[in-house]
Amino acid sequence: MVESNWAGNHGYAAETVLAPRTVEQARSAVAAAGTVKALGSRHCFNDIADAPGGVLLDLSALPTPVEIDAEAATVTVSGSARYGDFVGPLHEAGFALANLASLPHITVAGSVATGTHGSGRRQPGLASAVSALELVTADGALRTFSRDADPDVFPGLVVGLGALGVVTRLTLDLVPAFDVRQHVFERLPWTTVYRHFDEIEDAGYSVSLFTDWAGDEADHVWVKSRVEPGAELTEPSGLLGALPADGPRHPVHKAGIPADHCTPQLGLPGPWHERLPHFQLEFTPSVGDELQSEYFVPYGDAVAAIEAMRGLADRLAPVLLVCEIRTVAGDGLWLSPAHGGDRVALHFTWRPHQPEVEALLPLIEQRLAPLGARPHWGKLFHGTPARAYPRMADFRALAEDLDPDGKFRTPYVRRHVFGESGS
């Protein structure tokens, strides 16, 4: 088949793509399939969403009702909903999600399945907001699970890599709507980052550092701050010596990319959903022609990880567009990259040169291995991360229980969950 992921670097090897219009059709398709996997908005960079020789269920034709329960402070959306489809109505109803990723184009189901995250030292990944989900399991049955009713297995179900079934509904925790303003500060010396990492991360609700690792400074610090009602707005004169940018910036500003596709900066207050993502729904996010990788290390090892990557600056330079350093609060979800403690995430936006990127990944992973780095499940990585997850054996048992015949056990799942080499 010729369909591919968003980046165009993975052509799906599934035999068929089906687009069910109802949950009933999805259930029948799963029950009839030999090998099957759900497909979200296709923003992963590896074969995680593929089902070679089998059936891919493209859920984008499912209806996308948005059910807000104001009393419980939850929203329930369908397995095909993209964040961008419902964040506006949520805000109008007086609610917000606590955090968002850099782009609103991705589905909730696909994002939480891969441990997708935004930034913020006190903000866990997006999967932490899920309080219930509805799952079509391998036999076509429709089952519901919730954080409260199923405390033993729920932490294993949410970051599920698509390996447990097809998610058709998710319920997410809400918080009261809030406003955010974002400022970009330029040229923060690494020596300052090393000495004041906590202070920098505490400078806002969500903080990102951007760098190409060349030189002695981080190029940008993006600080997204909550605007408290009635608070007087003042313009910051700088951040630990880094000065406010004199205009909007794209993360790859150094390569001359304009900031037209980015959410408003320069301290202009606006709703959470129009500031927390870096990129606007109506435009291509990031660069478009790119690949991505990302590694998570314990928060306390931030400086060691930065030093390790600075040591590779010359090797990274030919293929790197930009690197982003973010933080993610720890959680208890079994396959969450932030399982067991706060993490610093080192994200790489690469030029679309896959062989060169793949040649570098073992080197990066070797340098980060002493820190117990975990790769982003949905981006390019080299090794297999199973050993970095203390609850992996429980996840395998859950997958065997829900999918005894291995319908969802695709090559990616066999390699990275079941530890089968050569898959």
Pick the binder of ligand FAD from 76, 107, 137, 211 (CB under 6 A): 107
Q: Is 98 in the site for ligand FAD (CB under 6 A)?
A: no
For residue 218, the SS3 value is strand
Specify the residue, 90 or 166, whose C-beta has the smaller distance to ligand FAD. 166
H-only helix segments in 166-301: 190-195, 197-201
How many residues would you count in the chain? Answer: 423
- The secondary structure of 340-380, three-state, reads CCCEEEEEEEECCCHHHHHHHHHHHHHHHHHHCCEECCCCC
Specify the residue, 190 or 319, whose C-beta has the smaller distance to ligand FAD. 319
Pick the binder of ligand FAD from 111, 137, 293, 336 (CB under 6 A): 111
Q: Is 316 in the site for ligand FAD (CB under 6 A)?
A: no
Pick the binder of ligand FAD from 30, 55, 109, 172 (CB under 6 A): 109
CB of 69 to ligand FAD, least distance (A): 21
Cα pseudo-dihedral 359, 360, 364, 365, rounded to 10? -20
Q: Is 218 in the site for ligand FAD (CB under 6 A)?
A: no
Pick the binder of ligand FAD from 35, 76, 99, 116 (CB under 6 A): 116
CB of 169 to ligand FAD, least distance (A): 9
Burial 282-301 (b: 16+ CB within 10 A, else e): eeebbbeebbbbbbbbbbeb
Pick the binder of ligand FAD from 14, 90, 98, 101 (CB under 6 A): 101
CB of 108 to ligand FAD, least distance (A): 8
Q: Is 104 in the site for ligand FAD (CB under 6 A)?
A: no
Specify the residue, 145 or 217, whose C-beta has the smaller distance to ligand FAD. 145
Q: Cα separation of 57 and 40, whole Å?
A: 9
Residues 6+ apart with CB under 8 A from 273: 83, 87, 88, 90, 91, 96, 97, 100, 104
Q: Which residues, numbered 251-310, are part of the site for ligand FAD (CB under 6 A)?
A: 285-286, 292
Q: Residue count at the site for ligand FAD (CB under 6 A)?
A: 34
Specify the residue, 46 or 225, whose C-beta has the smaller distance to ligand FAD. 46
Sign of dihedral through CA atoms 272, 79, 64, 59?
A: positive
CB of 46 to ligand FAD, least distance (A): 9
Per the structure block, which two tokens stand in for 421? 């080499």
Specify the residue, 100 or 316, whose C-beta has the smaller distance to ligand FAD. 100
Q: Judge contact between 293 and 319, C-beta under 8 A.
A: no
Q: Judge contact between 167 and 79, C-beta under 8 A.
A: yes
CB of 38 to ligand FAD, least distance (A): 4
Q: Which residues, numbered 373-392, are part of the site for ligand FAD (CB under 6 A)?
A: 376, 378
CB of 349 to ligand FAD, least distance (A): 8
Specify the residue, 309 or 402, whose C-beta has the smaller distance to ligand FAD. 402
Q: Is 338 in the site for ligand FAD (CB under 6 A)?
A: no
Specify the residue, 78 or 190, whose C-beta has the smaller distance to ligand FAD. 78
Compute CA 313 distance to the chain's CA centroid, rounded to the nearest angstrom: 25
Return phi, psi of residue 97, to 5°: -90, 150
Cα pseudo-dihedral 80, 85, 86, 87, rounded to 10? 130
Q: Which residues, numbered 357-376, are part of the site for ligand FAD (CB under 6 A)?
A: 376
Q: Which residues, numbered 219-248, are part of the site for ligand FAD (CB under 6 A)?
A: none
Which letter does DSSP use for residue 242 in this model? B
Q: Which residues, numbered 1-60, are part of the site for ligand FAD (CB under 6 A)?
A: 6, 37-44, 48-49, 59
Q: Is 15 exposed, middle or buried (0-12, 13-18, 19+ CB in 10 A)?
A: middle
Q: Is 417 in the site for ligand FAD (CB under 6 A)?
A: no
CB of 40 to ligand FAD, least distance (A): 2
Q: Judge contact between 147 and 131, C-beta under 8 A.
A: yes
Specify the residue, 167 or 302, whose C-beta has the smaller distance to ligand FAD. 167
Alpha carbon of 109 to those of 159, 168, 212, 288: distances in Å?
9, 8, 32, 22
Specify the residue, 106 or 193, whose C-beta has the smaller distance to ligand FAD. 106
Site residues for ligand FAD per CB under 6 A: 6, 37-44, 48-49, 59, 79, 101-103, 106-107, 109-111, 113-114, 116-117, 161-162, 166-167, 285-286, 292, 376, 378
